[in-house]
Amino acid sequence: MNVALASPPMPIPGHVDPVPVPRPAVPRADGRTDLIGLSRPEIRDALAAAGLDARQAKLRTKQLWHWIYNRGVTEFAAMTDIAKAQHPLFERHFVIGRPDVKEAQVSNDGTRKWLLTSPDGQDYEMVFIPDADRGTLCVSSQVGCTLNCTFCHTGTMRLVRNLTPGEIVGQVMLARDALGEWPSQPEGRMLTNIVMMGMGEPLYNFDAVRDALGVVMDGDGLALSKRRITLSTSGVVPMMARAGAEIGVNLAVSLHAVTKEVRDEIVPLNRKYGIEELLQACADYPGANNARRITFEYVMLRDKNDSDADARELVRLLRKYQLPAKVNLIPFNPWPGTVYECSTPERIRAFSDIVFEGGISAPVRRTRGQDIGAACGQLKTSAEKKSRAERDREAAFLADPA
């Protein structure tokens, strides 16, 4: 993986405005630099620091970028257009890393979940969700989360630290390895979409998320279009305009309630940035239009946010701000210790009908990966103690299910 960060827990000021303080990077134990997640200028500077002159550093950066992000190569010896005499220099100073897989699971519906661990011993998760016409990778941005959304299993964890750009990009690289999707090409991919909806609040790790997605969207490498990437936020209003301007991907908002009382309870960040302020930030989001609608995530909680009155208020609010919107209705996935229950299918259907009748798309999301704890709102590391051999067999199956 990329350089690790120190592991002590970050101070958490409370449920409101819990902005984490980034920890200083800690060099790899072997002194080498992981190239995954570095920008082209950062790679060029690293090569120069290793002793290459400016012309050589520029040329080798272009070649390395192609081999790493287009071909998926992890060994310098496989880079046939780089002089063999330079391979030892690269191997001495650099590594092309991947996350360490601690546990890998496959759902009976084909959903895959990986529990990953960093060099400093922190665990985080990623999920791949295959569909007939697309394959979506759900990527984490933090180890744990500070937002304490009461319906979300990940929200019961304390935030440990931000993920680095390399740890974010590494999730995509590992998925491409497992799916056998090298060399990179835009047609015929299984992994077609990315959603920043895993562990953590992406806008509280803005710089790393921006830099990582810049690598993912680069046309000479992984080449995923910004129209195929969605960033989900619980409503960090001050960062939303920057996300639109500097990243430019699709926006999803974890709304989940239409009254202050209920949203204050289930999404405590609402006490800092209220619903009206959040919806105004959505209206101002750069690039939002009818072709690129903002997605509003709405988890269905029985007798909490699922009444006809709630549905009508949702329509009213979205119309008031003239938002190009789509509402994803998400059946709640219960987890041990939760105080909430999922709305009945009949109630969800009635809610959806009211929103549709208001002229707003409101499909009900199909639950995926529930049997392996990979469903929406369930991500929380809870690996059972298994032997190394068992974990290796699971990882091998994910890499080659045949």
Tell me whether strands 135-138 and 142-143 are parallel, antiparallel or unpaired. Answer: unpaired
Q: Is 376 a catalytic site residue?
A: yes
Cβ-contact 162, 208 below 8 angstroms = yes
Residue 219's SS3 state is coil
Cβ-contact 325, 294 below 8 angstroms = yes
Q: What is the Cα–Cα distance from 343 to 303, expressed in whole angstroms?
A: 7
From the list 75, 91, 125, 276, the catalytic residue is 125
Q: What is the Cα–Cα distance from 147 to 140, expressed in whole angstroms?
A: 14
Tell me whether strands 142-143 and 250-254 are parallel, antiparallel or unpaired. Answer: unpaired
From the list 145, 149, 152, 376, the catalytic residue is 376
Other residues' Cβ atoms within 10 Å of the Cβ of residue 332: 24
Q: What is the largest CA-CA distance in the chain?
A: 71
Cβ-contact 297, 263 below 8 angstroms = no
Rg (CA), the chain: 22
Residue with tokens 């987890």: 335
Q: Is 152 a catalytic site residue?
A: no
Structure tokens at 34: 């992981």
Kindly write down the DSSP assignment for every residue of 322-377, as one continuous string: T--EEEEEEE----TT----BPPHHHHHHHHHHHHHTT-B-PBPPP-SGGGT-STT
Residue with tokens 């529990």: 115
Q: CB-based contacts of 53: which residues, under 8 Å, 6+ apart?
A: none
Cβ-contact 272, 319 below 8 angstroms = no
Tell me whether strands 112-117 and 100-106 are parallel, antiparallel or unpaired. Answer: antiparallel
Active site residues: 125, 376
